[in-house]
Copies of this chain bind each other. A is one copy, B any other.
Amino acid sequence: MDARRKVELFRERPLRPGRPRAPHKGTVVAIGGHEDRVGDKHILRAVADRLGRDGKIVVCTVATAEPQELWKEYEAAFRALGVKHVYRLDIESREDASSERAMRILEGASGVFFTGGDQLKITSQIGDTPTCSRVREIYEQGGVVAGTSAGASVMSETMLVSNSEEESYRIKSALLMAPGLGFASDMLIDQHFSERGRMARLVGAISQNPRVLGVGIDENTALILEHDRSFRVLGAGAVYVVDGSKTTHSNIGEADAEETLSTFGIIVHMLSQGDIFDLSTRTPTAHPPEAMEKVEAAAKRGAAGR
């Protein structure tokens, strides 16, 4: 299908997260920021290994104020990792995101990577545009949708957007949210987690609605979510799962926005590399770190065989 028809099609019938019978075949890689881009590139390698033979990745720099610098870093990294086709998608406006040019850049891509920056720039510029639909199509066809920092936050159904961690224990602070792109359903993903001390704001956020699972990702650490059912942890730091389903008390509903949050019975799991979390049962399973290499090798073989 040519780029113009694609734009028309997606304008008429956008692909949206909630539509029934969506295949959900792809992989989400959400990275907590500051992943290694020049050394071992452990996490970017996991992205590259999932692109398949003759893979094509599109690096979307819409979030950042420094698109040129970041693009150079990621281009060099993905090329060093043996990815054959590395393209850049810079978007300055919703018009860009609805353009035939964007469709052409995304044509044949098996992966999309969102850089860090401002998560609201991503969602406000591409939300429900043909680019957004095309990224979902890539995902539903078994591709990889990856993002770091702000790019990880937008994977969530609902994302946190406050810039300041100051007084994060206030009820009002936990309400600074916006809709994400929704690739990771029922999850609220936060990043730079240990490094910026974001536990309070994540607990606050999930206290608003414990249906959603809070997930905090440390820097140079990622979760790899397959088929929207379970995720594995990869990288140097930890991934925190904050489960509010057993909460016995919260003052969210009663108290005013200036009050300090009070909430009892939060369950926290701290996962390190190789650990798996099942999203339907909300249970973690420990895996020895050395098993990870085998899993990654299998993922690479699987992608190559596509």
One of A74-82, A89-97, A192-200 contacting the partner = A192-200
> In the complex the two chains form, is B169's CB within 8 Å of A218's CB?
yes
Nearest B residue (CB) for A221: B260
**Distance (Å) between the CB of A192 and the closest chain B CB?**
10
The reply on A158 being an interface residue by CB < 8 A is: no
Chain B residues contacting A178 (CB-CB under 8 Å) are none
Nearest B residue (CB) for A263: B270
**Once bound together, how far apart are the Cα atoms of A265 and B243, in whole Å?**
10
One of A147-155, A179-187, A271-279 contacting the partner = A271-279
Q: Give the A interface residue count (CB, 8 A).
A: 40
**Distance (Å) between the CB of A45 and the closest chain B CB?**
18
Nearest B residue (CB) for A203: B270
Residue-wise interface mask of A (215-248) relative to B, using a CB-CB cutoff of 8 A (1 in contact, 0 not):
0001000000000000000001110101000000
**Distance (Å) between the CB of A17 and the closest chain B CB?**
29
Nearest B residue (CB) for A284: B264
Residue-wise interface mask of A (251-263) relative to B, using a CB-CB cutoff of 8 A (1 in contact, 0 not):
1000100011111
Nearest B residue (CB) for A238: B169
The reply on A302 being an interface residue by CB < 8 A is: no
The reply on A46 being an interface residue by CB < 8 A is: no
**Once bound together, how far apart are the Cα atoms of A63 and B260, in whole Å?**
30
**Once bound together, how far apart are the Cα atoms of A269 and B242, in whole Å?**
12
Chain B residues contacting A236 (CB-CB under 8 Å) are 260
The reply on A304 being an interface residue by CB < 8 A is: no
Further contacts, 18 of them, CB under 8 A, given A167-B237, A169-B238, A169-B270? A165-B194, A168-B194, A169-B272, A203-B268, A203-B270, A238-B260, A238-B261, A249-B284, A260-B273, A261-B270, A261-B272, A262-B270, A262-B272, A263-B269, A264-B269, A264-B284, A267-B267, A268-B268
Q: Interface residues, chain A, CB within 8 Å of chain B?
A: 165, 167-169, 194-200, 203, 218, 236-238, 240, 242, 249, 251, 255, 259-273, 275, 284, 286, 289
Q: List 28 A-B contacts (CB under 8 A).
A: A168-B194, A169-B194, A169-B237, A169-B272, A194-B197, A194-B200, A197-B197, A197-B199, A199-B240, A200-B270, A236-B260, A237-B260, A251-B272, A251-B286, A255-B289, A259-B272, A259-B289, A261-B270, A261-B272, A262-B270, A262-B286, A264-B270, A264-B271, A264-B284, A264-B286, A266-B267, A266-B268, A268-B268
